[in-house]
């Protein structure tokens, strides 16, 4: 065992040696010099790192166990600290921290961003740090768990918290790099943020007020509609239950602005419905749909399925014997509903409302398409960065506001509602029959749901047809594949397959990014879930809250924060495909994590402990026992991250470049140009690809039922 641990130690110090001696330290490919040769050539601040690497290698060979040696811990800590200090302290054009300039005169010429050498050195130092901590009892001495935790914390700090902090600092820092509170105060108190003119009838409202009004209306309507849907499915003999469940999946695979485009095609000034109404009733076509009504319509259609799922599971979790008890005590159905069912549903209603509220605030696709002159925070942030005047300070200030709102809503949801949920399922089988809702409520629900279904069907009909007719916006319904051909034309000639269509570039990038980020997201998410569900370590609660918090950060804010953080050394990765992949991995992390935690809760922990006592380390336990048993959750996480990566627009719109454009950003551009048919055709292709993936998931999960079922048997009373 000692020998093995010695070997592992040698691995990390060997990796560190390779990183400082052999790999190109800086990014860009202009120079392939290692840290050692760069250090000798004048960037002397790299030499301490080389020294630390050599000392650590010496220590791991000379001592019996370098991990418990005080010098080992000191070297690793100092190495990691110095790596970060010099990286962030000396920028592209010279020292950022003045002290470093005095210490190293040659630093005036600056240094490029981290390259392979620096990244590998960082990973090696993190690995060594995990070894040092595990040897001191962290994670019960499990090295794999220690490495995972430290690695994930480092990654989250780098790719979630560092960008947010950087963005916040951009809100307070003037263009010359000094602290400037006055501009921040000016911006944050500006009347175009807070004006309530539209409510008092004196002009327009501020962006914040607009966002809040939209968020509250949208969340309230979506919750009401979701409740109507849930009641119909769970508590009535309504015949279209399957259709309703199918409709609830649609928003997951729909790019955010597709609904918006379809609404324009239907209700825009030259829209199908508008024109018909004008002919029949002589109402003059207007642009009424642009603004609050249009965004609201699109958001309610998009979020109702989300609230529906939340409320459906809450309704199904209510123990029917409670309602039966009320009936046996003499209550009429309406009274039972009012005094038992409704109070039990209240926490779920609040949760659904807050969820839709967060989604509405974070929504970017619908406001940008349908907003007209109705500005909301997310679009305003976008125009502050992308518009005519690049104003990062303004974007940062708005982002701080938006982030405060969503995080506050998220905080309320997790803290306050977490305690108030009434779970009445006890594990005992309660053979009660669910009480059907009173007729009055049933018909109210039907009245709400029918228009929803009609709208949804209409909108998806537009999406299906629109891409394959000449111009659906003007009702020219001649079938054509022209739009598809514009986007995806190709030719097979002497040079092989040649892709000419304008959309190929973005489609291929999208597939690459999705295919790369989905397994990474799944891996990091499941690993995080395993750490949270199974490991005890110092700081676990903060770790858990940190990972969940990234869920509450709106995509727009993520996009701006990545621009703020990653277009300068040491980590200058804007314009690469890597930044797109990283962005998706950390945005979708909570999804994989939740799937993993739910699956792990079903699995008896002692199976993992059995594996450990038989000699398996953490990684082996994960591979042999955990992963085979939670395979369905793995597939769910995988496909969900894949689909989200294909449909997301808010964060990537900031991060795409001419070379690495993504499908959603490309479609966005077509929408802005009014090329609706092309946009719709492309969206259809995108959705078909995703449907194929969902089908693949269903197929794969369906085959793997066995593992889960027997997994549960392991925890329950074994059959005699």
Partner 1 sequence: MTQTAIEFRSVVKRYGDATAVAGIDLAIGKGELVTFLGPSGCGKTTSLRLIAGLELPTEGQVFIAGRDVSRDPASARNVGMVFQSYALFPHISVLENVAYGPVIRGTPKAEAQARAREILEQVGLAGLESRLPAELSGGQQQRVAVARAIVQQPDVILFDEPLSNVDAKLRRKVREEIRSLQRRFGLTAVYVTHDQEEALAVSDRIVVMDKGRIAQVGTPTDLYEHPANPFIADFIGDANLIRGTVAQGRFTAPGMALPVSGPDGPATLSIRPERITLTPGGPDRVVSATYLGSRMEYTVAAQVGEMLVSRPIFEPRLKAGQDVSLHITDTDVSRVA
Q: Which of 421, 489, 602, 612 binds partner 1 (CB under 8 A)?
A: 612
Residue 266 or 633 with smaller CB distance to partner 1: 633
702 binds partner 1 (CB under 8 A): no
Please tell me whether residue 691 binds partner 1 under the rule CB under 8 A. no
DSSP state, 284? Answer: P
Which three-class secondary structure string do you get for 44-97? HHHHHHHHHHHHHHHHHHHCCCCCCCHHHHHHHHHHHHHHHHHHHHEECCEECC
Helices 540-549 and 577-600 pack at an angle, to 10 degrees, of 120
Long-range contacts of range 7-14, CB-CB < 8 Å, 24 or more positions apart? 8/131, 8/143, 9/60, 9/65, 9/66, 9/67, 9/128, 9/131, 10/60, 10/61, 11/127, 12/124, 12/127, 12/128, 12/131, 13/53, 13/56, 13/57, 13/59, 13/60, 13/66, 13/124, 13/128, 14/57
Q: Which is nearer to partner 1, 216 or 607 (CB)?
A: 607
**Assigned token pair, 628:** 């085979």
Q: How many residues bind partner 1 (CB under 8 A)?
A: 36
From 14, 110, 285, 617, residue interacting with partner 1 (rule: CB under 8 A)? 617
Dist. CA 511–CA 336, nearest whole Å: 52
Q: Which is nearer to partner 1, 143 or 187 (CB)?
A: 143
408 lines the binding site for partner 1 (CB under 8 A)? no
Which of 152-163 are b and which e, b meaning 16 or more Cβ less than 10 Å from the residue's Cβ?
bbbbbebbbebb
Among 140, 332, 415, 474, binds partner 1 (CB under 8 A): 140
Indicate whether 718 belongs to the interface with partner 1 (CB under 8 A).
yes
Give the range of 209-217, 417-425, 466-474, 709-717 binding partner 1 by CB under 8 A. Answer: 709-717
* Beta carbon of residue 379, minimum distance to partner 1 (angstroms, whole number): 47
Contacts of partner 1 in 174-193 (CB under 8 A): none
Q: Does 1 bind partner 1 (CB under 8 A)?
A: yes
Distance CA(583)–CA(409), nearest Å, equals 23
**Which among 453, 648, 658, 650 is positioned nearest to 574, based on CA atoms?**
658
CB of 98 to partner 1, least distance (A): 43
Nearer to partner 1, 174 or 707 (CB): 707
Residue 471, SS3 per DSSP:
strand
- What is the dihedral sign for C-alpha 588, 594, 599, 600? positive
Which range binds partner 1 by CB under 8 A, 169-177, 213-221, 460-468, 622-630? Answer: 622-630
CA dihedral 437, 441, 442, 448 (to 10 degrees): -140
Q: Beta strands 90-91 and 94-95: pairing type?
A: antiparallel
> Rule CB under 8 A: is residue 707 a binding residue for partner 1?
yes
458/617 with CB nearer partner 1: 617
Report the residue number, 623 or 659, with the smaller CB distance to partner 1: 623
Q: Is 169 in the site for partner 1 (CB under 8 A)?
A: no
135 binds partner 1 (CB under 8 A): yes
**Among positions 18, 620, 657, 696, the unique one binding partner 1 when judged by CB under 8 A:** 620
Judged by CB under 8 A, which of 464, 601, 610, 691 binds partner 1? 610
Q: Rule CB under 8 A: choose which of 98, 141, 175, 387 binds partner 1.
A: 141
Backbone torsions φ then ψ of 173, nearest 5 degrees = -110, 135
CA distance 614 to 611: 5
**Which string of x and - marks every residue 588-607 that binds partner 1 (by CB under 8 A)?**
----------------x-xx
- For 602, phi and psi rounded to 5 degrees? -85, -10
* Identity of the residue, 389 or 613, whose beta carbon is nearer to partner 1 in the bound complex: 613
Distance CA 305, CA 490 (A): 38
| One residue of 38, 131, 142, 323 binding partner 1 per CB under 8 A | 142
Residue 7 in the binding site for partner 1 (CB under 8 A):
no
Pick from 70, 201, 615, 702 the residue near partner 1 by CB under 8 A.
615
CA 248, distance to chain mean position in Å, is 20
616 binds partner 1 (CB under 8 A): yes
Closest to 530 (Cα-Cα) out of 636, 619, 641: 619
Minimum CB separation from partner 1 for residue 712, in Å?
8
Which of 614, 688, 691, 695 lies at the binding interface for partner 1 (CB under 8 A)?
A: 614
Give yes or no for residue 675 binding partner 1 (CB under 8 A). no
Judged by CB under 8 A, does residue 609 bind partner 1? yes
CB-based contact 607:134 (threshold 8 Å) = no
CB of 335 to partner 1, least distance (A): 44
Rounded least distance, CB 136 to partner 1, Å: 8
Q: Is 388 in the site for partner 1 (CB under 8 A)?
A: no
Q: Which part of the chain contacts partner 1 (CB under 8 A), choosing from 106-114, 140-148, 248-256, 692-700?
A: 140-148
Please, which residues have CB within 8 angstroms of residue 318's CB and are 6 or more apart in sequence? 341, 344, 345, 422, 424
CA 153 to chain centre: 17
For residues 622 and 530, is the Cβ–Cβ distance under 8 A? yes
Q: Where does this chain touch partner 1 (CB under 8 A) — which range of 54-62, 149-157, 193-201, 609-617?
A: 609-617
* Binders in 491-520 for partner 1, by CB under 8 A: none
Nearer to partner 1, 197 or 714 (CB): 714
Which among 227, 489, 522, 213 has a CA at the least distance from the CA of 376? 213
Interface with partner 1 (CB under 8 A): 1, 135-137, 140-143, 604, 606-607, 609-617, 620, 624-625, 628-629, 706-707, 710-711, 713-715, 717-720
């Amino acid at each position: 065992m000692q020998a093995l641990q010695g070997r592992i130690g040698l691995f990390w110090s060997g990796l560190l040696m390779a990183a400082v001696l052999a790999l190109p330290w800086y990014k860009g490919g202009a120079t392939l010099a290692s840290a050692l040769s760069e250090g000798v050539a004048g960037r002397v601040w790299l030499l301490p790192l080389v020294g630390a690497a050599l000392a650590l290698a010496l220590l791991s060979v000379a001592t019996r166990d370098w991990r418990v040696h005080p010098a080992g811990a000191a070297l690793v800590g100092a190495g990691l600290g110095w790596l970060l200090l010099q990286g962030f302290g000396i920028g592209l054009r010279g020292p950022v921290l003045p002290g470093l300039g005095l210490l190293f005169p040659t630093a005036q010429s600056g240094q490029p961003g981290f390259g392979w050498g620096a990244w590998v050195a960082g990973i090696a130092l993190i690995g060594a740090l995990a070894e040092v901590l595990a040897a001191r009892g962290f994670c019960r001495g499990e090295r794999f768990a220690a490495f995972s935790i430290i690695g994930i914390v480092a990654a989250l700090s780098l790719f979630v918290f560092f960008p947010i902090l950087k963005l916040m600092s951009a809100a307070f820092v003037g263009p010359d790099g000094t602290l400037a509170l006055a501009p921040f105060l000016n911006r944050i108190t500006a009347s175009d943020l807070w004006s309530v003119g539209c409510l008092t009838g004196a002009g327009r409202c501020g962006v914040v007020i607009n966002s809040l009004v939209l968020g509250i209306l949208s969340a309230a309507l979506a919750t009401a509609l979701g409740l109507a849907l849930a009641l119909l499915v769970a508590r009535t003999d309504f015949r279209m239950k399957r259709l309703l469940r199918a409709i609830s999946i649609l928003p997951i695979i729909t790019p955010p602005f597709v609904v918006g485009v379809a609404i324009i095609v239907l209700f825009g000034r030259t829209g199908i419905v508008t024109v018909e109404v004008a002919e029949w009733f002589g109402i003059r076509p207007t642009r009424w749909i642009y603004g609050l009504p249009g965004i609201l319509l699109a958001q309610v259609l998009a979020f109702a399925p989300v609230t529906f799922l939340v409320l459906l599971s809450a309704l199904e979790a209510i123990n029917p014997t409670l309602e039966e008890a009320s009936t046996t005590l003499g209550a009429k159905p309406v009274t039972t509903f009012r005094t038992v069912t409704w109070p039990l549903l209240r926490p779920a209603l609040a949760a659904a409302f807050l969820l839709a509220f967060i989604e509405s605030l974070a929504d970017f696709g619908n406001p940008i398409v349908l907003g007209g002159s109705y500005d909301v925070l997310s679009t305003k942030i976008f125009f502050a960065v992308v518009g005519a005047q690049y104003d990062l300070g303004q974007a940062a200030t708005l982002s701080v506001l938006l982030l405060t709102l969503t995080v506050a809503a998220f905080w309320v949801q997790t803290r306050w509602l977490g305690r108030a949920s009434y779970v009445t399922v006890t594990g005992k089988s309660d053979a009660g029959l669910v009480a059907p809702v009173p007729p009055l409520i049933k018909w109210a629900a039907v009245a709400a749901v029918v228009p929803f279904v009609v709208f949804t069907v209409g909108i998806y009909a537009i999406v299906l047809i629109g891409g394959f007719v000449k111009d659906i916006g003007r009702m020219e319904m001649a079938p054509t594949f022209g739009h598809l051909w514009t986007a995806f034309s190709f030719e097979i000639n002497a040079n092989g397959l040649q892709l000419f269509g304008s959309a190929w570039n973005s489609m291929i990038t999208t597939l690459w990014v999705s295919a790369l980020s989905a397994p990474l997201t799944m891996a990091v998410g499941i690993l995080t879930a395993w750490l949270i569900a199974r490991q005890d370590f110092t700081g676990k609660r903060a770790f858990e809250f940190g990972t969940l918090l990234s869920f509450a950060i709106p995509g727009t804010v993520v996009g701006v924060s990545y621009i703020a953080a990653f277009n300068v050394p040491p980590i200058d990765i804007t314009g690469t495909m890597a930044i797109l992949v990283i962005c998706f991995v950390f945005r979708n992390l909570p999804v994989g994590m939740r799937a993993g935690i739910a699956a792990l809760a079903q699995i008896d922990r002692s199976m993992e402990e059995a594996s450990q006592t038989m000699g398996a380390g953490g990684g082996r336990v994960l591979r042999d026992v955990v992963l085979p048993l939670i395979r369905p959750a793995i597939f769910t996480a995988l496909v969900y991250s894949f689909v989200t990566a294909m449909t997301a627009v808010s964060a990537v719109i900031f991060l795409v470049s001419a070379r690495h454009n993504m499908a959603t950003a490309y479609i966005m551009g077509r929408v802005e140009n009014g090329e609706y048919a092309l946009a719709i055709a492309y969206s259809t292709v995108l959705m078909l690809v995703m449907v194929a993936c969902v089908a693949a998931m269903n197929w794969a999960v369906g085959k793997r039922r066995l593992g889960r079922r027997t997994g549960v048997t392991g925890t329950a009373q074994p059959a005699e």
